[in-house]
Amino acid sequence: MSPEATRIRKRIPKSCRRCHRRKQRCVGVPVCANCELANQPCVRSDSVPSWHHGMSKGALVQRIETLEAQLAALNDGGASESGGDNNNNNNNNNNRPQSQSGSVSASKSPTSDLDNSGAVMHFLIQGHGYEDKIEGNYLGPSSGLSIAENISRIVQDAVWKSIPVNETHEFLAPCENEATGPAVAPDDAMGARILDAYFKSVHMRLPFLCRAEIYSLHSQRHSPAGSSTQEQFGRFKIFMVYAIGAAVLKMTEMYDSTPSRNYFVTAMQFQPSLQQSLSISSVEALMLLAMYNLQSSASSSVWYMMGLATRICVDFGLHREVQYRRLRPYEAQRRRRLFWSVYLNERSVSWSLGRPFSIGDEEIDAEPPADIDDSLTDTAGDEIFRNPRSPQERWQGPNIRCFIVCINLSRITSRVRARVYRLDRDMPSLLPEVQPLLVSLEEYQKALPCLSAYEDDFIHMHWNNATRTLLYPFLSILPPDDELARKCLYASGQSCQYFKRLRQRDSTWYSFLLINTVFMAGLTICLCLFRSPRLWTISVSNDLRACSSALFVMAERHPSVRKYRDALETTINRVMEYVSDSQLNPVSGGRFPSAEVTYSLDRALTDPPTPGFLIPSPQASRGPGVETPRTPEISDGRSFPGLFVEDFWAGDAFSLHMGESFGLRV
Tens of pLDDT, residue by residue over 504-515, are 877 667 787 888
From residue 383, how far is each of 330, 375, 388 by CA, in Å? 10, 16, 9
d(CA 314, CA 312): 5
* Predicted pLDDT of residue 37: 81
* Predicted pLDDT of residue 318: 95
User: Could you tell me the sign of the dihedral formed by the alpha carbons of 432, 438, 439, 444, in that order?
Assistant: positive
* Digit-coded pLDDT (tens) for 434-491: 999 999 999 999 999 999 888 999 999 999 999 999 998 898 889 988 999 999 999 9
Residue 414 scores a pLDDT above 80: yes
Name the CA dihedral angle for 580, 582, 585, 587, rounded to a multiple of 10 degrees. Answer: -170
Query: How many Cβ atoms from other residues are within 10 Å of residue 83's Cβ?
Result: 9
* Digit-coded pLDDT (tens) for 81-131: 444 444 444 444 444 434 333 333 333 443 343 344 344 555 555 544 444
Strands (E), 300-421: none
8 A C-beta contact, residue 302 and residue 294 = yes
User: What is the Cβ-side half-sphere exposure of residue 553, based on CA atoms within 13 angstroms?
Assistant: 21
* pLDDT band with cut points at 50, 70 and 90 for residue 151: low
Query: Mean pLDDT in the chain?
Result: 74
* Digit-coded pLDDT (tens) for 239-268: 999 999 998 888 777 788 888 889 998 988
Burial class (CB in 10 A: 0-12, 13-18, 19+), 361: middle
The mean pLDDT of 521-529, rounded to a whole number, is 91
d(CA 230, CA 98): 12
Out of 7-11, 59-63, 607-611, least confident range:
607-611
From residue 125, how far is each of 67, 194, 198, 244 by CA, in Å? 33, 22, 20, 15
Residue 234 scores a pLDDT above 60: yes
Residue 135 scores a pLDDT above 60: no
d(CA 244, CA 254): 16
Share of the chain above pLDDT 90, in %: 30
* Digit-coded pLDDT (tens) for 547-606: 999 899 888 877 878 888 888 998 999 889 889 888 887 654 333 333 333 233 333 333
Query: How many Cβ atoms from other residues are within 10 Å of residue 580's Cβ?
Result: 18
**Choice between 73 and 4, residue whose per-residue pLDDT is larger:** 73
HEC string for 454-484? HHHHHHHHHHHHHHHHHHHHHHHCCCCCCHH
Residues 6+ apart with CB under 8 A from 320: 364, 365, 366
Residue 224 is given by DSSP the state P
Write out the DSSP string of 25-50: ----SSS-HHHHHHT------SS-TT
For residue 613, the cross-strand partners are 594
Domains of the chain with CATH codes: 1-72 (4.10.240), 150-162+395-666 (no CATH), 172-289 (no CATH)
The mean pLDDT of 370-374, rounded to a whole number, is 86
